[in-house]
Chains A and B, each alone.
Chain A
């Protein structure tokens, strides 16, 4: 009989522990779904739910603050999304906050992100919130399409240009294909080389000629003065910088 009571106590502990575990699990799962917090409801009208599901998270500044309570089609082009949000967060969400559909990670679920507003007026229970159209894949693809169109137009133009060059049309084309033109150009360059060398000699001779000596000396003087002035300016700037640094340190 004594043993029997002992067994009953053990059984009691066993059953109590099991029930407590179950209640803890229910509490934590429920807490995640905001069953035990006070919540407010806000709605957002989207043009496209983009795969959003009931039970997905609502985020504010990257923190989960609520869940999606319901999704329903309003008209043929609008979707109404009801969001359940913790009452503690209500004060941070302003009337001009916006909702945008985002996703949790690369392969994750969809979620709604609320952006902070700056109107100063706090949102009320049951209010509707403005939405931003998300950059969905279709839009990106459409944009890519126009980019590709542009690229094809550019390459067509390029093809025409290269064709012209190959056929010797235009000055660049002549350069590539006209051997006479290239020959002339080559000769011109050689002439230019000699001409510049000759010019250099002439200038050297001019420096030593009596008539122009004074003028060259003046030019050199001016250059030196300019260099000196530059050095002075540099020094002054450095001094000023040092002064400013000192002032800052003193201010601290």
Chain B
């Protein structure tokens, strides 16, 4: 979709910084900007960023055509439990499903169970008489009087949000919808979510969990969006606002407020989307991205040019069953704490978090972290950390190592620091390897893409651990997430539970469901006034062999919006594709076994115009120093430091060791690696002796 006004802004609000990417169609340039986040009211940081950008890059707020907004507001509301009082209405006899969950524990030898997250307490979970069977038939009609009485009681109890989940409600929503109608008639101010509308898929616990999250987030997100829109209007910005979802697409504030569960895991989505763009830009089909943050790191994977998606994820132990970008989060980051236990060095899973943070922050942290390790090793310029926002206290890092590690293990500062970094690297490498292994992929076929503030220092070591021979250092690594958002399209997901065997006998019912699904998707695109040329509808089916417990989402390429009719040839093509995917992912298949269709899916996309933008050229800042003393492999050596611009301008490949200093991040090119420009402002490091 073309926009009338020249400026598009992507904003990614993180815990510490609010990152902006600004694209101006008049110059074709993309600018980056960082401003401190304002956690109490994130919209303040957002407006500050927009105003700063307008002043610095020369545009008026009225010239902004679209504002794409990524945030962790939904995520944080859940993590910090800043949620309204909610209730659950469900089939009588199944009020405890939300609490019972799936039984499996993570800490195998615990005598005290890890606390389980249950967002709605038992006294606010209400069963009503009703029953729909697995085939969608009504066995017991809904007790409407009971729902009416409940509505009054909920208001008396001060409940703001209600989730409705009836067994097999994914199959037949009649009771869920009627119950909502009764509630809203009696209590129009309640926020009500039904499982059919949020996540119409089989498996009651996961669907219930997702619906409850949605219900509790509705008031939170509505409130926030009202605030943002008021602030934007006051600042003279009339551009439409779009919110980033966990699936990598954006939606209107109205959709976001209705289905806020779709925002829950959108934090890392921007980075993954940027990876997708990088893959296309550089013609590299296989990328593995690692975004290293303070307390955790996110791993995302592009295989054969496509970013991985999943429908099974969780937040804080609460399942979220919605399509989203597949990201593996590991509990290792710059803030991971090192310690000595029974004579052994351990790193993590405990983290110093943002407060007090690493010892070098000087905020009272006394135990050494991975970041402290990098400081002690001279790999971080203490004067230039986070763009000079914070001066790091090298002595505090050293002392933390002395007291906690060196004495116990009889090691020097540098040896202990290098050890902690090495151990953190094995944690991350292990997670990357598992992420690839579960997709049936080999790390050797991948290029590593480090981004976020800290990954540039660890990339070469990680690549060596993984036997990866090539690293792409993207431009704007510290605001890459915002860069990914800038290229987002509008996206809506639709699904329908099917639970039927894929045989010609069931084709008629599958075909009907498919037609309904495509119609839903087409209707949405029309409502949103997406021009026909920018519309796209993609169909897929979740398939498995009969009796299996896990499905593979299989693209159904034979079905299109124009021709939504499924015939037996199309069904066979779908099943064949499933057998193939099963072989790749699970190393075997069974073409003679019955295939079961668990769900049908449609993705409706409204494409936003891409400008083929290039990064704005920046003046090469005069490097403050041209070399640093850095410890690598137990030796202190003088390592040249250059700016990214110098690296990009270099005529011949530059050989490590080398530090590339950027405003918010540092890249360590280790000995044995060679750095050269890749185009589009990106850099490529290759192991010496390896060719493309």
Asked if A and B bind, the verdict is no
